[in-house]
């Protein structure tokens, strides 16, 4: 349950859609009830502190969350979070809501609200959406992308842009940047090396489809990409055929695939560097 809730609150992009019927009452309480007896904390990176921190739900003395349900739903004094008798598929108290704001404070700087994590949910018949968040998913996750600067700073920038678009609910556009990484920074440089070495001509290369081009690069690019050529096909289909919602739902797994590919590229680069250093040292032995 923890992984599921964590993803909704600060990993999934904006406008991700969730059905009420997919959740147990306990999970709904965690998401929307800041006054529940057992508090649910968040473990995430604080962009202001520049460190990992624990975030606690803010307990408003004026019971702000309850006021939201009262004003937005017209439920009167019938506190929705005490309704445990309705079937899960009905969730009538959720169906009558409009917007709920959840706010969590950084345990390192409780007196400074600029450190707070805020997420806003919008409710519709049968489902809810995450419509706003601060800090954004990109702000929370981009720090781990910096390791790809050792391959190419442009890779870091492209991946950051893709993550940024996804965090703002843009699916198709985020796919564009992921595909550019494969094309421009993994495959194209290695194909140019083959042309320079005279192992293939530009004309011969132009007659091959992308999967055939990948086969030419065995040993020079990520094995994961070679064994999972579907990754590129999914990205292309997303750009040309899939809906925004379909691309948003696929983005997390596709981005993880890109990171695996880049991690293997780093390993390949380091291995080649080590081989060159050892060869140089061996030659010096005479």
What single DSSP character describes residue 189?
Answer: H
Residue that finishes a domain, picked among 135, 165, 180: 135
**Reduced to 3 states, what is the DSSP secondary structure of residue 66?**
helix
Kindly tell me the sign of the dihedral angle through the C-alpha atoms of 244, 248, 249, 254: positive
Residue that finishes a domain, picked among 80, 106, 135: 135
Say how many CA atoms lie within 13 Å of 263 toward its Cβ: 9
Say how many CA atoms lie within 13 Å of 129 toward its Cβ: 15
Residues 100 and 147 placed together within one structural domain of the fold: no
Angle, vertex CA 100, rays to CA 94 and CA 103, nearest 5: 135
Task: For residue range 228-249, list pLDDT tens digits in order.
Answer: 999 999 999 999 999 998 999 8
What backbone phi and psi angles, to 5 degrees, belong to 172?
-60, -45
Residues 51 and 21 placed together within one structural domain of the fold: yes
Considering only 102-111, 198-207, 226-235, 254-263, which range has the smallest mean pLDDT?
102-111
Residues 203 and 226 placed together within one structural domain of the fold: yes
Residue pair 143/45 in contact (Cβ under 8 Å)? The answer is yes
Give the range of the structural domain holding residue 33, as residue numbers without chain letter. Answer: 2-135
Residues 154 and 116 placed together within one structural domain of the fold: no
Number of C-beta neighbours around residue 247 at 10 A: 26
Task: For residue range 168-187, list pLDDT tens digits in order.
Answer: 888 999 999 999 999 999 99
Residues 128 and 230 placed together within one structural domain of the fold: no
Residues 196 and 277 placed together within one structural domain of the fold: yes
**What mean pLDDT is predicted for residues 150-166?**
90
Residues 59 and 172 placed together within one structural domain of the fold: no
Residues 131 and 145 placed together within one structural domain of the fold: no
Number of C-beta neighbours around residue 279 at 10 A: 10
Q: How many domains does the chain have?
A: 2
Residue that finishes a domain, picked among 115, 135, 155: 135
pLDDT value at 90 more than 60: no
Longest dimension (CA), the chain: 90
Residues 151 and 129 placed together within one structural domain of the fold: no
Residues 68 and 157 placed together within one structural domain of the fold: no
Residues 176 and 104 placed together within one structural domain of the fold: no
Mean pLDDT score of the chain: 82
**What mean pLDDT is predicted for residues 256-282?**
91
pLDDT value at 95 more than 80: no
Task: For residue range 184-224, list pLDDT tens digits in order.
Answer: 999 999 999 999 999 999 999 999 999 999 999 998 999 99
Determine the Cα–Cα distance for residues 279 and 272; give it in Å rounded to an integer: 10
Residues 98 and 159 placed together within one structural domain of the fold: no
Determine the Cα–Cα distance for residues 150 and 184; give it in Å rounded to an integer: 16
Determine the Cα–Cα distance for residues 15 and 137; give it in Å rounded to an integer: 13
């Amino acid at each position: 349950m923890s992984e599921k809730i964590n993803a909704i609150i600060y990993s999934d992009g904006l406008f991700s859609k969730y059905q009420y019927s997919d959740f147990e009452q306990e999970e709904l309480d965690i998401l929307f009830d800041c006054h529940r007896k057992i508090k649910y904390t968040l473990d995430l990176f604080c962009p202001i502190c520049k460190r990992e921190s624990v975030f606690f739900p803010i307990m408003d003395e004026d019971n702000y969350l309850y006021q939201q349900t009262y004003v937005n739903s017209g439920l009167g004094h019938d506190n929705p979070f005490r309704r445990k008798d309705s079937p899960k598929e009905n969730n009538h108290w959720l169906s009558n809501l409009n917007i709920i704001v959840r706010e969590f404070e950084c345990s390192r700087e409780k007196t400074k609200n600029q450190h707070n994590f805020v997420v806003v949910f919008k409710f519709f018949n049968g489902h809810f959406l995450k419509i706003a968040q601060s800090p954004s998913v990109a702000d929370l996750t981009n720090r781990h992308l910096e390791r790809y600067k050792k391959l190419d700073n442009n890779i870091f920038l492209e991946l950051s842009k893709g993550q940024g678009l996804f965090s703002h609910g843009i699916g198709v556009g985020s796919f564009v940047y992921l595909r550019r990484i494969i094309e421009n920074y993994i495959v194209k440089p290695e194909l140019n090396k083959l042309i320079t070495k005279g192992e293939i001509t530009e004309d011969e290369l132009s007659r091959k489809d992308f999967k055939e081009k990948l086969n030419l690069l065995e040993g020079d690019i990520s094995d994961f990409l070679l064994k999972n050529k579907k990754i590129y096909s999914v990205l292309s289909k997303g750009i040309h055929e899939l809906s925004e919602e379909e691309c948003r739902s696929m983005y997390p797994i596709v981005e993880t695939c890109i990171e695996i590919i880049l991690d293997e590229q780093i390993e390949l680069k380091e291995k080649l560097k080590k081989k060159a250093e050892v060869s140089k040292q061996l030659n010096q032995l005479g």
